[in-house]
Amino acid sequence: MNKLINDPGNVVADALRGLAAAHPELRVDHEQRVVFRGDAPVRGKVGLVSGGGSGHEPLHAGFVGAGMLDAACAGEIFTSPVPDQMAAATNGVDGGAGVLHIVKNYTGDVMNFEMAAELAETEVVAVVIDDDVAVQDSLYTAGRRGVGVTVLVEKIAGAAAEEGRPLDAVAAVARKVNSQGRSMGVALSSCTVPAAGRPTFDLPDGEMELGIGIHGEPGRRRVPTGTAAEIAEMLLAPILADLDFTGGDGVICFVNGMGATPLIELYVMYQEVAAILGKAGVPIARSLVGPYITSLDMAGCSVTLLKADDEILRLWDAPVRTPALRWGV
């Protein structure tokens, strides 16, 4: 398979050098593999730290900047960063108001962030994101995975921190967004981890993995592919069954590309999603369409709905200036 890489073992380091070169407003610690806001720590502001395995770009480093994250830790591909990195990020963004850890619910990420919080020299509150409705029976699993809602939490909690709210209040906003958001994804192809050199799983033509995560792990069910309209139905049915999105102030509707699916297909999906929501009586208040939380070169998409209210919409609309999300500035 042809790839734009030098050495499969250096992909993460090389990409961080590229990010630093393209975005001089960020400060990259190449030793620890932490990307900081150029002006971190911001005095008196709650620091927001996230991180995770690489391969989900632009998540997380692409969301570092004013109005969103203060620092992001990059692990190896699909592998949680280590506690030393997270502790360095935490201490580096501590402006005296404490630090919020935004942690996707994966066994490794949760354990490493726990160990990092024990090492950090400031007050840390962790919010664990678990929005993936594909994981049904949480009693017998590691719990729901953190997927699309992570992007929305980073934006909305980031805006709350930028307003100068204290740590508890920023954490409460993050938890609210997590509890009101749901996601479901589908893979039309596997992905290839550079160091492994071949696709993680085989997916024959005409079949797709429904309920996919973001690491090339197989989904819950393999089903025949369908039209965009049929796939939209398969993704939305479990989301709408899991939480009542009707009434209120509508939803933020996020159609996310998994990495190899072109934007034109994501817009085809978006109109199908919008049609289904229209019939279900769920008004769309805001939208986000594009590859924001990816799985290397996997084809496919995920749909995330966040039940909105005045506060969420106001924080969503607040200015943000990061490599991957930028508005109002």
Partner 1 sequence: MPDTVDITALHGWIREFARLIADHKDLLTELDAAIGDADHGINMHRGMSAVVTTLESESPGRPSEIFKRTGMTLVSTVGGASGPLYGTAFLRMSAIAGDAESLDGTDLAKLLRAALDGVAQRGKASVGDKTMLDALSPAVEALESAIEDGQPLAVALGAAVRAAEEGRAATIPMVARKGRASYLGERSAGHQDPGATSVTFLLAAAATSLS
Give catalytic status of residue 215 as yes or no.
Answer: yes
Provide, rounded to whole angstroms, the least separation between the CB of residue 49 and partner 1.
16
10 binds partner 1 (CB under 8 A): no
Asked whether 219 and 188 are in contact (CB, 8 A), the reply is no
Residue 138 or 225 with smaller CB distance to partner 1: 138
Asked whether 289 and 171 are in contact (CB, 8 A), the reply is no
Asked whether 216 and 260 are in contact (CB, 8 A), the reply is no
Provide, rounded to whole angstroms, the least separation between the CB of residue 81 and partner 1.
6
Q: Which residue stretch of 104-112, 170-178, 257-265, 281-289 sits at the interface with partner 1 (rule: CB under 8 A)?
A: 104-112
Burial environment of residue 314 by CB neighbours within 10 A (0 to 12, 13 to 18, 19 or more): middle
Choice from 53, 62, 98, 146 touching partner 1 (CB under 8 A): 53
Residue 109 or 272 with smaller CB distance to partner 1: 109
Radius of gyration of the chain (CA): 19
Site string for partner 1, 178-197 (x = CB under 8 A): ---------------x-xx-
216 binds partner 1 (CB under 8 A): yes
Q: Which parts of 231-270 interact with partner 1 (CB under 8 A)?
A: none
Residue in 267, 319, 313, 316 with CA at minimum distance from that of residue 290 = 267
Q: Which residue stretch of 91-99, 102-110, 181-189, 225-233 sits at the interface with partner 1 (rule: CB under 8 A)?
A: 102-110
Residue listed under structure tokens 């692990």: 75
25 binds partner 1 (CB under 8 A): no
Asked whether 102 and 47 are in contact (CB, 8 A), the reply is no
The phi, psi pair for 80, rounded to 5°, reads: -55, 145
Please tell me the count of residues contacting partner 1 according to CB under 8 A: 37
182 vs 323: CA distance, rounded Å? 25
329 binds partner 1 (CB under 8 A): no
Provide, rounded to whole angstroms, the least separation between the CB of residue 136 and partner 1.
8
Handedness of CA 130, 238, 254, 285 (dihedral sign): negative
Provide, rounded to whole angstroms, the least separation between the CB of residue 276 and partner 1.
25
217 binds partner 1 (CB under 8 A): yes
136 vs 133: CA distance, rounded Å? 6
Asked whether 145 and 230 are in contact (CB, 8 A), the reply is no
Supply the residues annotated as catalytic: 56, 215
Q: Which residues bind partner 1 (CB under 8 A)?
A: 53, 75-84, 106-108, 111-112, 114-115, 134-137, 140-142, 145, 193, 195-196, 200-201, 213, 215-218, 220
